[in-house]
Amino acid sequence: MIELYSNDNLKIITGTENKNLFRIEFNYPAPLLINSLIKTKIIRGATCSDNYKILIFKAYSVKMFDDYKYRSIYSVANMVDTLTTQLKYMIEVDCCAFLGYNTKNIIVIDDKKFVFLDCDLIKEINEDKIMITTKFNKTDFFFSPELENINNLPTNIHYKTSYFSLGYLLLYMLLKEETAISLYKEYLSLKNFDYNILNKYLNTISFKNTKLTFLISRCLVEEPEKRSILFI
């Protein structure tokens, strides 16, 4: 077996003879995450172990997001399709959501299916709220402004904090690499978030005022309750 990637929570391996067969081995049972991929058929024909620690599937290629250099409206549209399908299933079926998204725990299957694999960022939703009990850093994932403004723990925030993080990820993907890096550095440096920064960068995209950029802007509105993921 060949190990492609590993972190504190999982490793991804492929066979030496059958390089189209992949295994994701989680250190702990991951039923919520695995079901969000199997039940939605994002990964077709996938199987998992009885203890929900191993996911097996066939693919032509599996890449880490940070090794995926192809930035275009088509790849971002694919990202919207698969990541929102995964998130929608988790919210509607399992009543949970990702607290946020980062690039280091996204894999790209066959150059078109984007899957988020960070079990630590799955949080239960209770009356539209997620309870935050531990402190996170901006470098852990794309923070929403309401997370930045937390002063005391534990506290509750709206589950659509995940929408902001996803919208930011999509914007990051659409920008030219040097512009995306500049935006992220600016984002990390801010103590009081300025939404005008996002509009400034959205306006640099060559195909602005499209369904995709409107979707991103709806994810990035200031009031969490008013955020939406609609591709219309």
HEC secondary structure over 136-169: CCCCCCCCCHHHHCCCCCCEEEECCHHHHHHHHH
Beta bridge partners of 6: 11
pLDDT of residue 228: 92
Among 199, 89, 83, 100, CA closest to 142: 100
pLDDT of residue 138: 80
pLDDT digits (tens, 9 = 90+) for 40-65: 999 999 999 999 999 999 999 999 98
Confidence of residue 232 (pLDDT cuts 50, 70, 90): very low
Task: Decide: 217 and 174 in contact? Cβ < 8 Å.
Answer: no
Judged against a pLDDT cut of 90, whether residue 176 lies above it is answered with no
Q: What is the distance between the alpha carbons of residues 153 and 137, in angstroms, rounded to a whole number?
A: 14
Least confident segment among 11-15, 134-138, 155-159: 134-138
Confidence of residue 181 (pLDDT cuts 50, 70, 90): confident
As assigned by CATH, the class of the 70-226 domain is: mainly alpha
pLDDT of residue 135: 85
Q: How many CB atoms lie within 10 A of CB 179?
A: 14
Task: Decide: 9 and 27 in contact? Cβ < 8 Å.
Answer: yes
What ranges do the domains of the chain cover?
A: 2-62, 70-226
Q: What is the distance between the alpha carbons of residues 50 and 14, in angstroms, rounded to a whole number?
A: 20
- Give percent of the chain above pLDDT 70: 95
pLDDT of residue 190: 65
Task: Decide: 158 and 225 in contact? Cβ < 8 Å.
Answer: yes
Largest CA distance in the chain: 53
Q: pTM to 2 decimals?
A: 0.90
Strand ranges for the chain from DSSP E: 2-6, 10-14, 21-26, 47-48, 54-58, 62-64, 96-98, 106-109, 113-116, 122-126, 129-132, 155-158
Q: Averaged over 91-105, what is the pLDDT?
A: 94
Judged against a pLDDT cut of 90, whether residue 145 lies above it is answered with no
